[in-house]
Amino acid sequence: MKKLLLLWLLPGLLLTQQAYAQATTSGAGPKPATAARTSGNPIFPGWYADPEAVIFGKQYWVYPTYSAPFDQQVFMDAFSSPDLVHWTKHPRIIDTASVTWARRAMWAPAVVQKGGKYYLFFGANDVHEGEVGGIGVAVADRPQGPFRDYLGKPLVGNIHNGAQPIDQFVFQDADGQYYLLYGGWSHCNLARLKPDFTGLLPFPDGSTFKEITPQNYVEGPIMFRRQGKYYFMWSEGGWAGPDYSVAYAVADSPLGPFQRVGKILQQDPQVATGAGHHSVIQVPGKEEWYIVYHRRPLTETDMNHRVTCIDRLYFDAQGRIQPVKITQEGVAARKL
């Protein structure tokens, strides 16, 4: 009894006698913070999809879609972490109340820091030809918002080259030029952004939208540059099914041409299904890469029951992306 009382009174232990007894007999109850050596998958609770992972300063940030029926997707949350393991939720960083033209289906945020401001690109309304909606831009003074509508209208609100204006991603090239990649309905467009993000710049040939659609493309494009090459990644298959996946191509220019290399992320029937719509982060100055994506737990049949996960991303000596092993463990703690 004396041992139990001493343990209970030790500084830093937040256990009641009842909780302590339960923890020692069942393995449940509070755990010391030092017990978390890996992130685990999913990395935070809740139904979230289409994660945009970025680094701002000494913090990792994830901006996902709230995974729910379209009419309930009227806001977005964000999550921050100092080490990829411990995550803080920042609720409702933007909602339809702050965007007069958006009413539902707020999807796939992409966030950029520029000039002391944070710009959030988002899709809204699941727009079709003749409807109001598309890709918007919001701005805030902090990465956790609150974000307010920047333009008062969509940045891209019409159908160009057959691409639904959703699933936007912003890529900055080595020369400083920002590009907007986007597109659903199996078409992907690339456009040049004005420096202040208020509109699009024509290409030298006078066109505004360049289609760069590779074989099997469906949606969810991203791009990054590594060792002088442009890696273009996208999602294939149907998002509501088990075979959702990610493939990639490599080119010498952001305009391509992009020839599909192969699939690198997909379901593992022993772990989860529907693994797709991802983003990629690199630890600054290191050849250390992570893929953040969503997947559907094996216990779930609801198409909106998707969770956000993280695993390591590796390249071989020739620069090819290696197939990702999806895990329950996630990744080890990594401070910036």
Does residue 50 have an active-site annotation? yes
228 backbone dihedrals φ, ψ, rounded to 5°: 80, 0
Distances (CA, A) of 266 to 168, 239, 243, 245: 21, 12, 7, 5
Sign of CA dihedral 301, 220, 314, 86: negative
Residues 6+ apart with CB under 8 A from 74: 95, 96, 103, 104, 106
Please identify which of the residues 52, 167, 219, 236 carries the catalytic annotation: 219
Cα gap 43→327, rounded to integer Å: 11
| Half-sphere CA count of 256, side-chain side, radius 13 A | 19
For residues 171 and 222, give the distance between their C-alpha atoms in angstroms, rounded to a whole number: 8
Residue (of 215, 219, 137) closest to 170 by Cα position: 137
The set of residues, in sequence order, having a beta carbon less than 8 Å from that of 136 and lying 6+ positions away, is 99, 101, 102, 121, 122, 123, 124, 149, 150, 151, 153, 154, 155
Asked if residues 309 and 41 have their Cβ atoms less than 8 Å apart, the reply is yes
**Per-residue tokens: 146:** 């609150």
**Whole-number Å distance between alpha carbons of 26 and 125:** 48
Extended beta strands in 46-202, E state: 48-56, 59-66, 75-81, 88-95, 107-114, 117-124, 134-140, 148-149, 169-172, 178-182, 189-193, 200-201
Please tell me the distance from the alpha carbon of residue 215 to that of residue 145, in angstroms, as a whole number: 37
Handedness of CA 292, 294, 296, 297 (dihedral sign): positive
245 near 237, Cβ under 8 Å?
Answer: yes
Catalytically annotated residues: 50, 219
